[in-house]
Amino acid sequence: MSTADGAEPAASGGTGVGRVVLVVNSGSSSLKYQLVDVAAGAPLASGLVERIGAGAGRATHTDAAGRVSREEVAIADHHAAFAWMLQAFAEHGPSLESHAPVAVGHRVVQGGARFFEPTVITELVKINIDELSVLAPLHNPANLAGIVAAERAFPSVPHVAVFDTAFHQTMPPEAYLYALDRDLAEQHRIRRYGFHGTSHRYVSRAAAAFLGRPVEELKLIVLHLGNGASACAVDGGRSVETSMGMTPLEGLAMGTRSGDLDPAVVLHLQRRARLGVDEVDDLLNKRSGMLGLGGHGDMRDLTEAAASGDERARVALEVYAHRIRSYVGAYAAQLGRVDAIVFTAGVGENSADVRAMSLAGLEAFGVEVDAARNAERSAEARRISTADSRTEVLVVPTDEELEIARQTLEVVAG
């Protein structure tokens, strides 16, 4: 493991000896990292390197005390991004001598049907991640670039891939198969994979801990609502249904993504509007959802616009909530009963309006939201249902970095 000056940090030491993991989330032009003390369940430092390869980059490093160091700097590639990160640790702390990671955990978006648990990265694993890029061309190549750079920066510790899709590999065939020609679908690996799996796994277990019950006996519906959004039916700690499909485009209406759509709409746009494949892709992923419907991709802006009388924004919010209610009802039918509905991620944790609208009218199904509890703001897990609600309604903050760190440590600890 090389520091900025080429020195080799100690194998362990300091806070959380033997329990420190570096979590890496590598994008095509960014590197997000967090040094996690798994024993304490808290970050020791975090950072973000942006605009990699763009000439004028920007990098930020934050230590455990919240002190932020920023720098405008040109970052040529992911190797240079890791060099900057190591220098930031050396200059601003914590020291990687006394807080040396025992492993590096990597977020990898698409694991296909091959990876259903966190996996120590080998040359064969990297070949598979690269080969699966056909299913995630915007993500897997970037994830792999981060892995290669991290291995050079930290050569003496194990590296572990934690896949967004892995948690959903417990879905039964009736949940993940599309009603397509079976041979053609298998040839091209067309099926539902689901995403946000790391978050759904973390939140379902955190919800069980909050309720003081084993996750194995609970039936939960987890609503991960951020700019990207997905619902997941969790039965006994296992994913049995999720709203995203072969790609993150399917399912709930999102910030800029359309969510569920009649496939013939794509054909209609190609035939009548003369849109090409790339134009349709851009439309459905970047110019649809709340942005397309209501003019705002950020839920805070959309909610403010609706409150000020913007009719398009109001209708967009209704569409957003209607889609969530539809999935809640469908998953309740699949689960047979629902012990708790759990909101998480940026919108789910912070928007009382979205939570109230999403569950409005479900009182007959035993879902009652307490308006006062729902309006309270807190960074802690909390109950927002009434005392009489047969189904618990919770808000549980997600922590994907901690979950990746935990899974990484579990693998390397044997």
Write the CATH number for 80.
Answer: 3.30.420.40
In this predicted structure, what is the pLDDT of residue 158? 97
Pick from 163, 194, 222: which residue ends a domain?
163
> Max Cα separation, the chain?
65
Same-domain check for residues 244 and 376:
yes
Same-domain check for residues 279 and 130:
no
Same-domain check for residues 349 and 261:
yes
Domain-located, residue 2: no
Domain-located, residue 174: no
Among 140, 170, 145, which Cα is nearest to 52's?
145
Q: Which residue has the tokens 């890029």?
A: 133
In this predicted structure, what is the pLDDT of residue 239? 98
Residues 6 or more apart whose Cβ sits within 8 Å of residue 76:
52, 53
Chain centroid, CA 144 distance in Å: 18
Same-domain check for residues 234 and 105:
no
Domain-located, residue 181: no
Same-domain check for residues 261 and 342:
yes
In this predicted structure, what is the pLDDT of residue 55? 82
Sheet holding 392-395, edge to edge: 238-242, 229-235, 219-225, 340-344, 392-395, 382-383
Among 302, 408, 411, which Cα is nearest to 20's?
408
266-303 CB burial, b ≥16 within 10 A, e <16:
beebeeeeebeeeebeebbbeebbbbbbbebbebeebb
On the CB side of 96, CA atoms within 13 Å amount to 26
Give me the tens of pLDDT residue by residue for the chain, a chain 414 residues long: 233 333 333 333 334 447 999 999 999 999 999 999 999 999 999 999 999 998 888 999 999 899 999 999 999 999 999 999 999 999 999 999 999 999 999 999 999 999 999 999 999 999 999 999 999 998 999 999 999 999 999 999 999 999 999 999 999 999 999 999 999 999 999 999 999 999 999 999 999 999 999 999 999 999 999 999 999 999 999 999 999 999 999 999 999 999 999 999 999 999 999 999 999 999 999 999 999 999 999 999 999 999 999 999 999 999 999 999 999 999 999 999 999 999 999 999 999 999 999 999 999 999 999 999 999 999 999 999 999 999 999 999 999 999 999 999 999 987
Among 395, 386, 334, 329, which Cα is nearest to 362's?
329
Q: Which residue has the tokens 């009182």?
A: 363
Question: Strand pairing of 103-108 and 382-383?
Answer: unpaired
Q: Left if phi > 0, otherwise alpha if psi is -120 to 50, otherwise beta: which for 189?
A: left
Pick from 163, 189, 205: which residue ends a domain?
163
Same-domain check for residues 383 and 244:
yes
Pick from 141, 163, 185: which residue ends a domain?
163
In this predicted structure, what is the pLDDT of residue 15? 44
What does pTM read for this prediction? 0.92
In this predicted structure, what is the pLDDT of residue 348? 98
| Residue 412 burial class via C-beta count within 10 angstroms: exposed 0-12, middle 13-18, buried 19 and up | middle
Amino acid identity of 214?
Answer: P
Same-domain check for residues 257 and 137:
no
Same-domain check for residues 246 and 110:
no
Same-domain check for residues 35 and 152:
yes
Same-domain check for residues 148 and 274:
no
Cβ neighbours, 10 Å, residue 217: 10
- Domain, as residue range, for 48: 20-163
Domain-located, residue 135: yes
In this predicted structure, what is the pLDDT of residue 6? 34
Domain count, the chain: 2
In this predicted structure, what is the pLDDT of residue 401? 97
Torsion sign across C-alpha atoms 221, 224, 230, 235? negative
List residues with catalytic annotation: 164
Domain-located, residue 122: yes
